[in-house]
Amino acid sequence: MRIREWMTAHGAAALVQNLAPGATPERLDQAEAKFGAPFPDDLRTLWSVHDGSLEEGHGFIESFNLLSTSGSLEQRESTLASIEFARESPEAWAESGGTEHELASDRWLPFAGMDSDALVVHGISGRVFECDHDDTPRLVAPSLVSWLEGYAASLEADDYVLEPGFGGVYLTLRDREAERRAQEQAQKQAAHDRHRLETPLLDQFRDAIGARDEDRCIEVLGDARTRDEMGTFHAAVAMLFAATPEPVFAAAALRPHLSFVDLTADQWVDVAVGGILLENHAIRRVAEPGCAGATAERLNRLSESVTLAPERRRADLEDLHQKLRGKQPEGWISRLLRWRSTDP
């Protein structure tokens, strides 16, 4: 049997070993008597080869167990509930590929299933339907033989992979599109890793600034620290501020490295403002002590930025502005004027 041969050759021998021996003719006759009608020839042949699985949890058909004759009769109740649901929605049944004759009949037999979901054969037409517990059954093959041949062809086309689960192992249909995306992502990551290793760090950082890619800035600065290239690290930080970035970008690009940077007071103001606009209080707390001594020009720009900021951030910016105004060292002209005003 092609299906067993493929499973044995591709690491799924446990699924083959879990198949039960075939049912005897007497056992099949007894099951037919309980069913109340002869089984379709294809289904009787299948059960004569393997009367289901020995243990549940090893999905022989995707996650479905191969059902025995007794298991099929037990699961008919769930199948018939789905058929009754379909009878209440005849328009959905027509779209599913079923006929009115099949819908009117109760001669349905599941041959593979898991919980309340199953693959079922119609006892008269012999056609195969996929039967989900909360949906209308859907035609998937004109016969059981056709379905098994299609399943074997899919296995041989490497459309399935073995997965652990349900207490054992089972086969699941591969998501080729997801695999393609994963492969592309892996290729991009490999190219990125080569770029990090082979391209000078300052060139990488310059590109990151040009692209306004804060994550790459963080990564390049991290690489400089990991390699203990602190001269390169400080040169990159100087490059960042030489590009006159907006405070939000500067703060975001330096966020994990603030304990290692050496900035001027004006640059620390940029970082503090960026932290406020990012609503990142940790950045502001780190940056604020370094802001003492900021130039009047920078504080004037800070004052102007208050009115341009989002309303929810204005109070924090104004608070920073007032604190820094109070921390400004007194210039010699101010001290002279104050001395003259108090001179008797």
Q: Of 270, 308, 311, 264, nearest to 290 (Cα)?
A: 264
Which residues in 95-118 are b (16+ Cβ under 10 Å) and which e? ebebeeebbeeebbbbbbbbeebb
User: Residue 272 in contact with residue 248, Cβ under 8 Å?
Assistant: no
What is the model's pLDDT at position 166?
61
What is the model's pLDDT at position 344?
38
pTM for this predicted structure: 0.60
Reduced to 3 states, what is the DSSP secondary structure of residue 108? Answer: strand
Could you count the other beta carbons within 10 Å of the beta carbon of residue 38? 14
Distance CA 213, CA 192 (A): 14
What is the model's pLDDT at position 13?
87
Residue carrying the six token digits 């802001």: 291
Q: Which residues face 200 on adjacent strands?
A: none
Name the token pair of 323: 């604190």
CA dist 51 to 15, 115, 120, 291, Å? 14, 18, 15, 80
DSSP string, 298-324: HHHHHHHHHHHS-HHHHHHHHHHHHHH
Catalogue the E-assigned strands of 142-235.
Answer: 160-165, 168-173
What is the model's pLDDT at position 340?
40
Name the token pair of 157: 């086309």
Distance CA 94, CA 86 (A): 10
Residue carrying the six token digits 């299933």: 113
Name the token pair of 18: 């879990």
153: which residues sit within 8 A by CB, 6+ positions away?
A: none
Distance CA 316, CA 323 (A): 11
Question: Mean pLDDT in runs of 10 for the chain (344 residues)?
Answer: 88 88 95 92 94 84 88 88 84 84 91 89 93 83 95 92 74 89 96 96 97 97 97 98 94 97 97 96 96 94 89 92 74 39 40
User: Residue 209 in contact with residue 243, Cβ under 8 Å?
Assistant: yes
Name the token pair of 272: 């503090």
Distance CA 35, CA 25 (A): 15
User: Residue 137 in contact with residue 131, Cβ under 8 Å?
Assistant: yes
What is the model's pLDDT at position 332?
38
The bridge status of strand 160-165 relative to strand 168-173 is antiparallel
Catalogue the E-assigned strands of the chain.
Answer: 65-66, 108-114, 117-122, 128-131, 138-141, 160-165, 168-173
Q: Of 187, 182, 197, 119, nearest to 151 (Cα)?
A: 119
Q: Is 20 exposed, middle or buried (0-12, 13-18, 19+ CB in 10 A)?
A: middle
Q: Of 55, 79, 76, 78, nearest to 65 (Cα)?
A: 55
The torsion angle over the Cα atoms of residues 25, 30, 35 and 41, rounded to 10 degrees, is: 10
Which residues in 141-153 are b (16+ Cβ under 10 Å) and which e? bebbbebbeebbe
Enclosing H/E stretch for 249: helix 247-254
Q: Which residues face 108 on adjacent strands?
A: 122
